[in-house]
Structure 1
Amino acid sequence: MGSTVSALKKSLENPEQEKEANDALNVLAQVAQTRIDTFYQRVNSPQFDPGLVPISKVIYKYQYFQCGVSNNASDVSSAISDSLGAFISGDQKGVNTIVGSALGYLLGNYSANASSTTIYALTTGELGGLCRIDADFYSYEYTSKSLTSITKNVVVCSLVISSAKLDNLTLNDVNGIVQILYGGVDIGTQRRIRDQLWEQVQ
């Protein structure tokens, strides 16, 4: 399952263990803050990836920490999906699949104790409108005996949700976007997402 950082600290009864956990988690929090600052600047930059659908305005930023995450990571996936609920309507399943795949990759690809990946998706909400979701996932896996007795790893997810610019998007663009971004879901869900996105573009 895993636990939040605050819940983990409360569970520690040994003062020395609590101090060690604080030191390790504080260093990781600084790394996470640097990552989100850099990631936010990249998302805001038109030069970040000119091939992506550009953003209009950033409307929401969120950072999520979880300790002791198993390879299943369903609790992390659910927490992230819950935070996206206000921005997603019929394509919830597609976004959930993308988040789950990213977490699966993250937890299975550590190098020098660290792992990271990013995702990008387009979605519509209940009020309509096209949103772009950018997410940066980072995990650090502890190996020292003293720290693994406290938590085996920490997962950090940074989300940036923006309104998307719809200029010059064609139906072919939307078809391609859905096929690539939502390739992990069934064709019926892909068509539904395509129709929702295209309705907002027209």
Structure 2
Amino acid sequence: MGAMISEVKFQIDKMDNLKQKQDEIKEALENMQLMATDQLDLFNERIRNPGYDTHLIPISKILDNFQYIMCTTSNHDKIGTSIKEAIKDFSTGTIANGIANLAENIFKRLLGESSGDRFLQTHYTISVDELGGIARLDTLFFVYNFRAAGLRDTAGSVCAACVVKSSADVTSIDDNTLRVIVNQCFETSDKNLCKQILAEVQAAVAESRKHPEPPLKLENGSKSGHRQLDGPEAKPVERPDEEDVGAQEEM
């Protein structure tokens, strides 16, 4: 009878230890996910801040944003491939494929390494689409390998990837920079094709400089709060209340 009671107590203690272990793993994964989220938030804030790095190609509008976070204690081999496929779904083309392959190689190489290893890489590149549109792609890759506190046999990893696609502000790009951009993006293409693309991009930039977007101004003598665009065909637009504007911006 005593042996049976001892066995029952042993099994209960075993279940308690297992639950404690699972709780510790869950807590560690949640903390690592918060760390990765903080890295992505900081990265996005830097992109939105025009004064952060004045040597980058400036951007006009942020067009799309891809974020990927994964915390795991197993299946490290599949993470690189998963992120690669996710990035390829987000964007297509030679540049996007290059970023996807880079992400796969980084995560396959670094995941599961020594506990405490931390890796962060930021990168940006320029792409030119079929219509001559110039986009800037900013990327971040983050890896942190950890071991759950008090659990010698439980190691885990958190990885994060972020790709932000923005339209480049071409009005401030000089001709030499345009040439370097086209050569970088189409370096494997035929040189005659590169020259043709360059001519199209130069024409698009010149057109943008000749016809900037008209500024908004208040109507002369208007007390209704309407705004009007410069130009003969412009029409007054209802101006929302300031409270509404603030609510929309928060959304």
Q: TM-score range by the shorter chain?
A: 0.5 to 0.7
Matched, 1:158 2:162: yes
Matched, 1:62 2:66: yes
Provide the C-alpha distance between the structure 2 equivalents of 1:173 and 1:108, rounded to a whole number of angstroms: 41
Q: 1:172 to 1:22 in 2, by over 3 A?
A: same
- TM-score between the two structures when normalised by the length of structure 2: 0.56
Q: Residue 40 of structure 1 aligns with which residue?
A: 44
Provide the C-alpha distance between the structure 1 equivalents of 2:48 and 2:76, rounded to a whole number of angstroms: 30
Amino acid at match of 1:80: I
Q: Residue 188 of structure 1 aligns with which residue?
A: 188
Report % sequence identity.
24
Match runs of 1:101-180 below 5 Å: 103=107, 112-125=116-129, 129-144=133-148, 146=151, 149=154, 152-177=156-181
Q: 1:23 to 1:111 in 2, by over 3 A?
A: closer
- TM-score between the two structures when normalised by the length of structure 1: 0.67
Q: 1:179 to 1:125 in 2, by over 3 A?
A: closer
Unaligned stretches of 5+ residues in structure 1: 1-13
- Size of the aligned set, in residue pairs, is 181
How much does 1:35 deviate?
Answer: 1.5
How much does 1:99 deviate?
Answer: 4.1
| Greater Rg over alpha carbons, structure | 2
Q: Residue 244 of structure 2 aligns with which residue?
A: none
How much does 1:128 deviate?
Answer: 5.1
Provide the C-alpha distance between the structure 2 equivalents of 1:176 and 1:138, rounded to a whole number of angstroms: 29
Report 1 or 2 for greater relative contact order, CA contacts < 8 Å, sequence distance ≥ 6.
1
Unaligned stretches of 5+ residues in structure 2: 1-17, 204-251
Q: What secondary structure is seen at the aligned counterpart in 2 of 1:29?
A: helix
